[in-house]
Amino acid sequence: MSLEFEVLLPEEFLIKHIETGIRPDGRKLTDRRPISISSGNIKSADGSAIVKQGNTTVACGIKAELSKPTAEKPDQGFIVPNLILPPMCHPSVKAGPPSSTAQELSVFIKDVILSSECLQLTQLCPVLGKVAWVLYIDVLCLDHDGNLRDASIAAVMAALNSLKLPEVEYDADMDQIVVSKDAKSMNILCNPVCCSFSVFNLEPLPGSVPDNSAQFCLVADPTYSEQEVANSEISFVILEKGEICFTNQTGSMPLTQDNLQKAVSLATDQALQIRKALNSLS
């Protein structure tokens, strides 16, 4: 397809590619982009990681601070995820307060951590009722070319696995907190991975018999331009044994039972690719 077509009619250009089953970057509809993960990159952080997924790049840094647990939950610490979309990551991102996208992704990260139970909040309370850890989990998007959910969750999990915290004790005689100089790795109970898809409802070809199943189209690991055109997005968070612990869908196109099952099957298979990259860190 011509460059003029892409520049003048970008949405139609993309739809035509999807209808043929080959995307503009050469991938098939169910192909994911290559993913690479490294951890321990940010020396000033207590845990960190960088994930590159195609042209999407995110960095995660975790900073731990001591605080006091709440009276309602004296045995629990705190997690504070924050996804940052700076203007440098994409031309559409403007300077100013956090966008709705950034806020939604921050909530999504927290939901994934809590629903997967990869980290128990009780692990963050070394002294009952006296002191608790607050984990500030900052995810910075360096380059936004779509599918920030998958990249962000991979970065957060890699950073959590590199997280080290010092031992903390309470000296009752002196009524003070004693923090050791030696730090130990956190016990991460599981490693959830996220697999996301854009959902397209394609118009039937001229002269063809309308078929709802034929119009439904899943696009794995969507780019920014694909997400902009899609009817909806769906994400599955999958544990090591294939269990789905969390799902999230946005947009205006509900999935039928058959289409949902198709998406689940694809996500379960594709989770292995992300998990392989995570496991390579250990």
User: What is the per-residue pLDDT across 201-213, written as a single tens digit (0 to 9) for each?
Assistant: 876 555 544 555 4
Rounded CA separation 250/16 (Å): 23
User: What is the per-residue pLDDT across 81-125, written as a single tens digit (0 to 9) for each?
Assistant: 999 999 999 999 999 999 999 999 999 999 999 999 999 999 999
162 shares a domain with 84: yes
Q: Is 134 helix (H, G, I), strand (E, B) or coil?
A: strand
Structural domain contains residue 4 = no
163 shares a domain with 90: yes
147 shares a domain with 89: yes
Structural domain contains residue 259 = yes
Report the DSSP pairing between strands 132-143 and 56-67.
antiparallel
42 shares a domain with 133: yes
Q: Which amino acid is at 165?
A: L
Note the pLDDT of residue 110: 97
Structural domain contains residue 9 = no
Structural domain contains residue 237 = yes
Rounded CA separation 32/28 (Å): 9
Note the pLDDT of residue 208: 46
- Structural domain tally of the chain? 2
Nearest to 238 by CA among 168, 165, 125, 154: 154
pLDDT, averaged per 10 consecutive residues of the chain (282 residues), comes to 60 86 93 96 96 98 96 96 97 94 97 96 93 97 98 98 92 84 91 95 58 73 94 95 93 83 94 94 78
Structural domain contains residue 81 = yes
Nearest to 106 by CA among 86, 80, 124: 80
Structural domain contains residue 3 = no
Structural domain contains residue 75 = yes
Q: Which residue has the tokens 């730090």?
A: 183
203 shares a domain with 265: yes
**Of 131, 159, 185, which residue is a domain's last?**
185
266 shares a domain with 135: no
Note the pLDDT of residue 225: 93
201 shares a domain with 169: no
Structural domain contains residue 222 = yes
Note the pLDDT of residue 81: 98
166 shares a domain with 78: yes
Nearest to 213 by CA among 161, 162, 255: 255
- Tokens of residue 27, six digits: 């991938």
**Of 131, 154, 185, which residue is a domain's last?**
185
CATH number of residue 226's parent domain: 3.30.230.70
Phi, psi for 115 (deg, rounded to 5):
-70, -35
**Of 157, 185, 213, which residue is a domain's last?**
185
113 shares a domain with 252: no
Element (H, E) at 101: helix 100-116
Rounded CA separation 151/246 (Å): 16
Tell me the residue range of the domain where 88 lies. 36-185
72 shares a domain with 21: no
179 shares a domain with 86: yes
Q: pTM of the entire structure?
A: 0.92
Residue 251's contacts (CB-CB under 8 Å, 6 or more residues apart) are 199, 230, 231, 232, 233
Per-residue DSSP letter, 156: H
Paired with 179 in beta bridges are: 168
Residue 279's contacts (CB-CB under 8 Å, 6 or more residues apart) are none
231 shares a domain with 101: no
Rounded CA separation 27/40 (Å): 31
Q: Which amino acid is at 107?
A: V
